[in-house]
Amino acid sequence: MSKAFGKLETSKLQGRKSAVAGVQASKEEWKPFKWQKKVLKASKDKNVVICAGRQVGKTELAIMRAWMAAKEAPNRTIWWLSPTLRQCRRDIMPRMLRMFRNKKEFEDVTVTDMILYLKNGSRIIFLSGEQQYADHLLGATLDFAILDEAARLDKKIWEQYIEPMLIVKKANVWMISTPLGRNWFYEAWMWGQSEDYPKWQSYHTPSTESPFIKGRLKEIEKRTPKNIFEQEYLAKFTDSAGGAFFGLEGCEDSYKLPVEFDSKKTYICGVDLARKNDFTVITIIDNDGRVVYMDRCRDVSFEQQKSRINYAINLYAKCPVYIDATGMGSSVFEALRNSGMRIEGINLDYKTKAEIIQHLGFQIETQSVIYPIGSIVLEELQNYQFTRSPTGLIKYEAASGFHDDCVIALALAVWGQRQSGGTGLWVF
């Protein structure tokens, strides 16, 4: 095994409790919610699938079940499998230690090997579902397994590694996850809904069941695209897995670019400057959210890009420019500003990018954005995705083989309209 992954040794390494720096045992007893109590009462010989929204306590519930499984009998092997090793090391394992470190059953922990030991000889082993570690899943026999964020694990992890190991001892598995479209996790959840699979039970718990987030859900729904809200918070198995935008076709209209300047309207320009293998895209919208101008070019010099931006905004009364300044040197930004542009640079870090893309998604859902039928912008919007990291962070990016330059330019223009006040249509 690689050093990063660690060996799965059966022998303990003494004196390693202090190796988890900064992890203090919790002084409060875990008190399950009503829905968690219901699931814990599930028969021990059942496989359990939990489809749950964010912040409902599914991870804490699974941690408790793994601990119970380790206590049930001596010398048991429990696996906790997460999508990444980082998630195990920095999230799950510290959480478990906080909950149980002061328990009399707890004996030791090895950080390098990612193993928690009980005094009865049982052990909880934390593992990664990442492809580079897949071979390390072979050859073991298990007494119980937790598949954390199962929807984000490769199906073959279950079919080729976990399921065969469970069969040997007639062991059971718990799968917990927020859904990701109707992938293999949806299939597993359906087993628990069918009389044809008596060994399986499935549960659905939306974020409305969480006292931590319930009071903020209406606010979250107002600023979150419908498909993302339904998947992440209502825990629905949506058909548009990973698609960042909903209702795209409803925003199409039959017209040609460019649209002539109208002195009764106001305009905003969004610009995504080209980086390696990308396009520079200049998009201008009016105060009705209609795309009136778009220029998409590649492999042109900075001077040519500046000239094209100037040309575009001069067509629309030198309208303000909102530009992706991520990684763009101050000299470049100053050169654009010194050319006479009213320009605002936006650094698309994780938080800002998510906010801007989600605002665009909301405007698309309410059909407050309009673009020509057959435009390249529609193709990019259709192939723009969101994924959720094991730690819960939502990441937005183009699907493999596609570009996102038109998406970013449009999102910046829409964001600029919001920031500048615009009309009542743009008050968010």
CB atoms within 10 A of CB 270: 29
Side by side, the strands of the sheet bearing 267-272 are 291-297, 280-286, 267-272, 321-324, 343-346
Q: What are 387-424's pLDDT values in tens digits?
A: 766 555 677 888 777 889 999 999 999 999 988 764 32
Residue with tokens 């470190």: 101
Burial 113-148 (b: 16+ CB within 10 A, else e): bbbbbbeeebbbbbbbbbeebeebbeeeebbbbbbb
Report the pLDDT value the prediction gives residue 12, as an integer from 0 to 100.
38
- What whole-number distance in Å separates Cα of residue 81 and Cα of residue 79? 6
What single letter denotes the amino acid at residue 188?
Answer: A
Residue 6 has pLDDT above 80, yes or no: no
Report the pLDDT value the prediction gives residue 145, as an integer from 0 to 100.
92
Report the pLDDT value the prediction gives residue 64, as an integer from 0 to 100.
92
Average pLDDT for 74-101: 86
Report the pLDDT value the prediction gives residue 18, as an integer from 0 to 100.
37
**What value, to the nearest 5°, has the Cα angle with vertex 285 and ends 282 and 287?**
155
- Mean pLDDT, the chain, as a whole number? 82
Crossing angle for the helix pair 330-338 and 302-314, to the nearest 10 degrees: 40
Q: What are 250-293's pLDDT values in tens digits?
A: 899 999 999 999 999 999 999 998 876 789 999 999 999 999 99
Among candidate residues 28, 195, 180, 20, the one with its CA nearest the CA of residue 111: 20
- What whole-number distance in Å separates Cα of residue 54 and Cα of residue 231? 9
Q: What are 283-313's pLDDT values in tens digits?
A: 999 999 999 999 999 888 888 888 999 999 9
Q: Which residues pair with 50 in a beta bridge?
A: 176, 203
The pTM (predicted TM-score) of the whole model is: 0.60
116: left (phi over 0), alpha (psi -120 to 50) or beta: beta
pLDDT level of residue 347 (50, 70, 90 thresholds): confident
- Ordered structural domains, the chain, with CATH: 17-217 (3.40.50.300), 249-426 (3.30.420.240)
Q: What are 138-182's pLDDT values in tens digits?
A: 667 789 999 999 988 888 888 888 888 888 778 899 999 988 878
CB atoms within 10 A of CB 45: 9
Percent of the chain with pLDDT over 90: 32
pLDDT level of residue 356 (50, 70, 90 thresholds): very high
- What whole-number distance in Å separates Cα of residue 151 and Cα of residue 148? 9
Q: Residues for the chain: how many in total?
A: 428
Query: What stretches of 103-199 adopt beta strand conformation (E)?
Result: 106-110, 115-118, 123-128, 144-148, 172-177
Q: Give the max Cα distance, the chain.
A: 80
Radius of gyration of the chain (CA): 26
- What whole-number distance in Å separates Cα of residue 261 and Cα of residue 269? 13
190-194 contacts at long range (C-beta below 8 A, 24 or more positions apart): 191/47, 191/49, 192/47, 192/48, 192/49
Report which secondary-structure segment, H or E, holds 269: strand 267-272
Question: What does the block give as tokens for 369?
Answer: 């954005």
Residue with tokens 């912008």: 377
**What value, to the nearest 5°, has the Cα angle with vertex 354 and ends 400 and 301?**
60
Report the pLDDT value the prediction gives residue 349, as an integer from 0 to 100.
86
Residue 201 has pLDDT above 70, yes or no: yes
- What whole-number distance in Å separates Cα of residue 176 and Cα of residue 182? 15
Residue with tokens 């309209």: 417
Q: What are 10-36's pLDDT values in tens digits?
A: 333 333 443 444 455 555 677 888 888
Give, in order, the Cα–Cα distances in Å from 302 to each of 309, 325, 327, 345, 406: 11, 14, 15, 16, 18
